[in-house]
Amino acid sequence: MTRMIFVNLPVTDLDRAKAFYTGIGFVNEPRFTDETAACMVWSESIYVMVLTHEKWKGFTDRPIPDSGSSEVMLCLSCDSREDVDALNALAGRHGGTADISPPSDYGFMMSRSFTDPDGHFWEAMWMDPAAASGEVPMEPAA
């Protein structure tokens, strides 16, 4: 069986979260969606579960952090530099905040960061396949 990741995120407005993630390219999986949670699919191995605060509290007693904090940065790989730029722009157009940090460009790899409407920190990144496979050295651009 392929290993998968299910990222679980507490959200204040489930419909707004579903609209945001759909807007940036995720697909809703209705079998795991109800009025308290939605399963949003990025790929065959990456799923984001957006959960109402009430549903979230059924899984943990840990507090939900303020929207301005960053416990983790969630990174999505893209097929090209243009896809990174497009994903960042889509995040801004669909209720998130684009470019919350300065873009990074190392020549062989580049990234841009954004938040969703609840302030969860995301990064879109691209890496040159030759650098990822070790065919060319991974050195920052001059």
Indicate which CATH number applies to the domain containing 121: 3.10.180.10
One domain, residues 77 and 45: no
Last residue of a domain, one of 34, 59, 84: 59
pLDDT of the residue at 24: 97
Residue 40 and residue 48: Cα distance in Å, rounded? 5
pLDDT of the residue at 68: 75
pLDDT of the residue at 129: 85
pLDDT of the residue at 11: 96
pLDDT of the residue at 136: 62
CB atoms within 10 A of CB 22: 14
One domain, residues 44 and 86: no
Weakly modelled stretches of the chain, pLDDT under 70? 135-142
The answer to whether position 43 is within a domain reads yes
pLDDT of the residue at 49: 97
Q: Which domain holds residue 96?
A: 70-142
Residue 90 and residue 120: Cα distance in Å, rounded? 15
Strand partners, 64: none
pLDDT of the residue at 17: 98
pLDDT of the residue at 130: 83
One domain, residues 85 and 132: yes
Closest CA to 26 of 12, 54, 55, 6: 6
The answer to whether position 65 is within a domain reads no
One domain, residues 53 and 103: no
pLDDT of the residue at 19: 98
pLDDT of the residue at 34: 97
One domain, residues 78 and 139: yes
pLDDT of the residue at 137: 62
pLDDT of the residue at 139: 60
Residue 113 and residue 122 in contact, taking contact as beta carbons nearer than 8 Å: yes
Number of domains in the chain: 2
Last residue of a domain, one of 39, 59, 79: 59
